[in-house]
Amino acid sequence: MMKTPKVHQISECFVKPESAPEESKQPLYLGPWDLIMLSVHYIQKGVLFSKPNQDYDDGDFMEALLAKLKNSLSLTLVHFYPLAGRFKTLLQSENPPSCLVYVDCSNESPGAKFIHATLDMTVSDILSPTDVPSVVQSFFDHDRAVNYDGHTTSLLSIQVTELVDGVFIGCSVNHAIADGTSYWNFFNMWSEVFLGTTTISRPPIFKRWFPEGHGPEISLPYAHPDEFVGRFEAPELRERVFHFSMESLAKLKAKANAEYNTTKISSFQSLSALIWRCITRARNLPPEQITNCRLAANNRARLDPPISENYFGNAFYPIRGFTTVGELLEHDLGWVAWKLHEVVSNHNDKGIRGLLEDWLETRRVFQLGQLVDPFSVMMGSSARFNKYGIDLGMGKAVALRSGYGNKMSGKVSCYPGHEGGGSIDLEICLPPVTMCALESDHEFMEAINYSLK
């Protein structure tokens, strides 16, 4: 059996903002939704491009690309200056103990990391296997780092991995200062700067949102970070990307609405209900077992008054529907989808503020290992993010892939389908035995096959 080639790092450097904005001289304090995330992994997403045909063996192409990527990154960091910073913590060990974490945005930081690497594989080698090859995890920096590590590691790291006939650009961003909305806004604005714009279309807003009576500084009730920083190792997982066409999603939505005699269930709620049912069935759990389906809900538009989509920070919450395995599998798709519809509908300004008030009583930091639930499903990322609109001089990306960060059994990441039009790709992570059972599930494969007809 041939060994998979390894990624070889060629160079590493740090990139600073081209100029230091006045705001970067002040600390950036973290909001409640940021502080919660200090012990989970970095966001690791990336885009795979094909090289222009004539440039397969042209060293000048890569040299020019790397130079332009670094230069445009430096210009982009003028707008996104906290990504070039580092965390700092003020500790008070008694009366009572406290821990204040903030971003030092000053010019003392080395900046964002930029890595050039190579891999002797083709685009087809990455995309053609049934499962996502494990080497893809090596396309990202900060492997297994948790966000609190941002005291000593960069808050942003770009790794450019050159393949035989392609280029993968992996972006690792500290999840305690950015959620998916912020992450993809940065990536898209970098693309705009790369293409020559001097004024970006969506400038980030860094002023942190706090509930009334709180902020701008929120201390955590810990004497030392060891009390809230935990490390999580995922079990052995298979990772596959499944495609759902626009037609497939329309049929699922029509089916769910007809079964519950409504018109209010969305395509995504129908798809999430399908995935929850099918993964739960593949796990072969006892009927009395409680199971959850968590959805990453963007809080920005749900607040009253709403906050801007350009708000740069964390502004999401993992809302959940739950029931027993028996109920989930005894009822039809429409019943399950309606449960998720109700959860989404009830996540409003009042509910969000109530959750925040509860958190402010404890100020607990999430630990990934404590949140892992082998009986549940987590629907993360979003097909609404403009992921294929990123243009870094090589045309439209051919695929999206992610790193090791925040993966566990039942983690599902949503991407727009490559052809657009409302299609969706789901990146599903499951233990090998469960993935085999899912691949044989009639309800699941029937929905997949909609895409093939």
Domains 8-227 and 238-450 share a fold: yes
Active site (annotated) includes residue 391: yes
* Residue in 175, 179, 341, 347 annotated catalytic: 175
Quick one: pLDDT band at residue 3, thresholds 50, 70, 90?
confident
Q: Is the pLDDT of residue 146 over 80?
A: yes
Task: Specify whether the backbone of 438 is left (phi greater than 0), alpha (psi in -120 to 50) or beta.
Answer: alpha
Distance of CA 86 to the CA centre of its chain: 20
Topology of 238-450 in CATH? Answer: Chloramphenicol Acetyltransferase (3.30.559)
Alpha-carbon distance values, 372 to 85, 201, 411 (Å): 30, 38, 10
- pLDDT recorded at residue 57: 59
Cis peptide bond N-terminal to 96, omega within 30: yes
Percentage of the chain beyond pLDDT 90 is 87
Catalytic residue among 55, 332, 391, 441: 391
Residue 406 has pLDDT above 80, yes or no: yes
Catalytic, 116? Answer no
Span 64-90, average pLDDT: 97
How far apart, in Å, are the Cα atoms of 182 and each of 28, 253, 303, 393?
Answer: 16, 29, 17, 22
Least confident of 99-113, 151-165, 252-266, 286-300: 99-113
**Confidence (pLDDT) at 95:** 80
Q: Where are the domains of the chain?
A: 8-227, 238-450
CATH code reported for the domain at 8-227? 3.30.559.10
Average pLDDT, stretch 222-228? 91
